[in-house]
Structure 1
Amino acid sequence: MIKIGGINIPEYLAPGVYIEEFEIGAKPIEGVSTSTAGFVGFAERGPLNRPTLVTSVAEYQNTFGGYLPEDKEYDSVRWLPYAVEGFFSNGGKRAYIVRVAVKDSENEDSNAKAASGFVPDISGVTTLLTEETKAGSFVLKADNITGLEHGDVLFLRDGAFSEYIQLRFAGTAKVLTLNAPLANGTYAEGTEITKPVPGPTDPADPDAYEVQEKLEAGDTEIVLDDVSGLIVGDAVLLDKNENAEICILSAVNDTQKSITVTSTLKLKHDKGAEIQKLSIPEVDPVTAATLMELKAGDLIIPVAQGATEFDVNSALKIGDEYFLIKAVETGNLLLSEEKLKYQHKMNAEIKQLVRALNVSASSEGKWGNRIKVMSNLSSLSEASLTEPASNKDTLTLSTVNGMEKGTLLKIEPKDKAPIYETVKEVIKTGNSKKVVLENVINENLDTGTRASTVEFDLKIRFDGSEEIFKSLSMNSNHSRYITRIISEESSRLIRIKDVSSTQDPAKKIPMPAQDTEPGWLLAGGTDGIPEDEGKINETYAGKDDLIPENRTGLHTLKNKEDISIAAVPGITTQAIQDKIIAQCEEAKDRFAVLDPKMGSDLDEIQGQRNLYDSKYASLYYPWIQAYDPVSKKQVNVPPSGHICGIYARSDIERGVHKAPANEKINGALDLEKIGSAARIITKGQQEVLNPKGINCIIPFPGRGIRVWGARTISSDSLWKYINVRRLFIFIEKSIENGTQWVVFEPNNEKLWARVNATITQFLTGVWRDGALMGTKPEEAFFVKCDRTTMTQDDIDNGRLICVIGIAPVKPAEFVIFRIAQWAGGSAATE
């Protein structure tokens, strides 16, 4: 290697022409984008805590769903969809969406969860109803309960009235239905119940007491003919048969001969009705053991079928609770966790559902509860045997198209049940087409015997849209094994897992569903909506982490360097607004747009403004009205999404140096309404708000609703204008990205000159775009990178220091025309 003219070149040893490239002069700097927004909020669905790029409202809705309902649960966090729509309708092009939800709450019920369910195979037990079953019942009588047990999910097949049953108990038993639900805690399986009997515990006490006044439902005090023998805590039977109810005494008044009961009466009772004291016999009490665990709210108790003395209208005691038995059923019984939705006739089919596939919604939220999974059998190929086969594992077929290792083959001998076998190998040589099976078929198969492949299709329905996956297999050796075909890349609705434990491949087939049945519906999805301000702050703030994928909430915006505008639509707590400001100040490459508190008056908005001092944020007031597709009316929405769109529109059309003000707000139908009156800001009120950095939104006759302010919330007068701050962000980020090549270059005069030329060239272009003051570049900026900007110590320590000064344009915020009378500039002449 030799050096000529300061350029390293190879030695030239052979004659010829040599072409070489080298760099000289300035390197171009490309300006960074300033119009990409980042929004954090609640959405109907979509990935949690993962910034996701969307470029239109339709793309947002496809990934994150629609608008959230206007109700008590969502009211404080429902603003993200409106902000996204406002952003794109006002000129925005790109936005990163971060969906948040409550995830790690100690209260499990408040956490966001994905809806889930399963697709069963066909291996489950089948049984029939032996009696008509009414809607609202918990008890079903079946002809066979063998193989059914607690926890099973059953499918009661009844056409359009089909439904699912979560099984609590299956057995030959007697089931007692109580007159009221259990009130106390859990009773373990095997807990003893007893039968209280009416009558005195002391022979001297009365057999019965007579009610002296008519009683109404809701009464608690009962006047009797006698109260002797009654004490606080006694259980008594009031009235008989269908009108009976049990009361526990909380007070006994000997003087007035009255009793007070702990709970209000549920029924009316005539004067003269009898009250009898209930007690447990000391000798040979009637008892039985419960056959399943009971919990508060239960109405049914299964006991041994031989517990014959527990019958309708008799009393029952469990723990410290007393009940009346309102119904008794015996036989092969199935008890459901929930009441039946529909009435079902005798002989309706009940099918045990054995899990083949676990299915969950692709993201957390109630939206997943609307997903319906349908499965149907299909076949890729049909063939026939071209040679007879007797007790063989190899078949010669007319075609092997659509067959491969793992294919389930259905072979149909004449006048016999089909045989199912799995293909081990496909052999295709010349005219020979054969399949080798995993097992020998112990049958004599004739030429022409039909053989077909067995696959299935899966159809996913959600709100009118469908995903269809065809010709799937449950064999992991097959190329169309279900978990290979249905993945995060291929389905936006579901995630799937093979959990089949059925060994027989003929029974591993997912159960077909008919359109008249509900299909396999997912359930259990929850949105994880925070219940108070503290939880809102915690959820939106999220947690930081050294690993970007582990960040949550606002911290996930750090994962995307191209975000230049940030907002948390509708969230106006000081804790969250402080955090988004802090992130912008730390990153120095983005600007925060803050919303005012909904309904703020002039004092309240000034109080909110006084909480902050930052050159990296702006505050807009008041909220605006927009059309709500959910309620079909105008609603108040926060302005931040619309303002971010105006920033983007102004940057694209004019440049980041143009103040994003005097711009019409598309989609704004009116200003915020409190009651029926819109909040109109007068010029006098704006004279108070504008100097404090509160940017007002004002309607102008014939010009629409416009942004009428362009100030940051900084006390530093150098940084009071939004466009100045954002211009510096643009220039700083562009120079940072465009000079990465300088690192580790020789730190000498040649490098300094090249850096100077690079930045000068870039700033000249910025000046030509109208972003800087001056009639020539020398008046607009200066760039110095030489011995005057760095010492020998800087050079020795590897520091290259370049000093840049720029003169940004400021907005014409106050346009003043000074006008005076003038007598005229000419005199009369002849």
Structure 2
Amino acid sequence: MPEYLAPGVYIEEVPSGNKPIEGVSTSTAGMVGVTQRGPVNQPTLTTSYADFVRKFGGYLDHRVFTNNRDALPYAAEGFFINGGQRLYVTRVVGTNARYAQAELYGSPRGNPASTTLTQLAAAGADTLLLDSGNNIAQDDVLLIKDGTRSEYVTAQSDPVAAGVRIHGRLQAAHNNGDNVTPQTPTDDQVFVANGDFAAAAMTIALVDVLDLAAAEVLRIADTGNSALTEYVTVDSVNAGTNTATLTLPLQNAHPAATTTVTRVTLVAGAPKTLTADVAIGAFMLPLNDTVGLAADAILQLGGEFQVVRNVVSSLSIVTSETASAHAAGVDVIKQVPLLRAYAHYQGQWGNHLRLSIRHSSVLDTTVSANVAQNANPIKLAATFGLGTGSVLDIQRAGSPIARERVISVSTATNEVDVEGG
């Protein structure tokens, strides 16, 4: 073909027919769109629909991924069904896409808190009643340790005293606003039990009733278990049989060998009031205040006496309501974050991941020199595999004595410094 070497007007013949279209293979294709998971903005080769699912996930929920944003998995499936062999997929995500993350928790070294639920927490509960609120504060994360129903909740405020839990159970119903009067006992005459006292008994036998009289109060205590202590009022006395009839039945059984019976004089303190109705058999008393109350305090409600087990704390968890029901007595343990794990790719798929952690020792060694309590450094026989953040479980004769986090390692001297020494 001649070359155009200078400016000018030249005539060039052009074929009038259609030019042939060069053939292109349709076994290789590329697609861009939304998928469940996978690399973002990175063309990735897939060679089958099963391979696509492994790398990018399956179908998308059309109710969530609207406006045909659920189309790519169907397109990929159709491509391979129709004979496609190589598909390059580029996943795209929105500007607000985030990495799913999970906090891994453990008990704190300082200011730990472990308590129990005072009463049932129903599913969806936004308040917990705890046997103790010590060392629990706003924003603390708590583990409700209840087997397969275990869950984390977050304290929305500091716990506040809400009432008391008693050792026994109420023997009568009481109404909102009724008085609950603290009593201070003074010991008087001691009596000797003549045989075992049965639970629910209305009459007790004594070796000698002496000058015991109706309307007097007896403390029946078990030397082996202080939780069985109860206060009862005498209804009548039979000097001929040395028995005393009570106004209410005993709540507990009392073996003669470990039971002491003491007449007491009670002095009433300033009354509290119930803030809600309480039924027969209840063991939690909601009160307007708990000032001056503590374990083993004596309370009078109408004609019955009850002994305080503990002051109850109310804790708001309004933004992290319980997912399951939890019975009274379930452990509640304060937690602190130890590790934060992120999903490898952005997207909701990470919300379906579950993490499992187990102890895995990278080093089994011994302490090679004596070290004082709370002192650093600790000299070890070896430090291979240790680094800042490693955790040392220190045992003596197979029994754990300390668990400390490493803050520095000297491989030259095989010495480590730990938090707190």
Higher relative contact order by CA 8 Å / sep ≥ 6: 1 or 2?
Answer: 2
Highest Rg: 1 or 2?
1
Q: Give 1 or 2: higher helix fraction.
A: 1
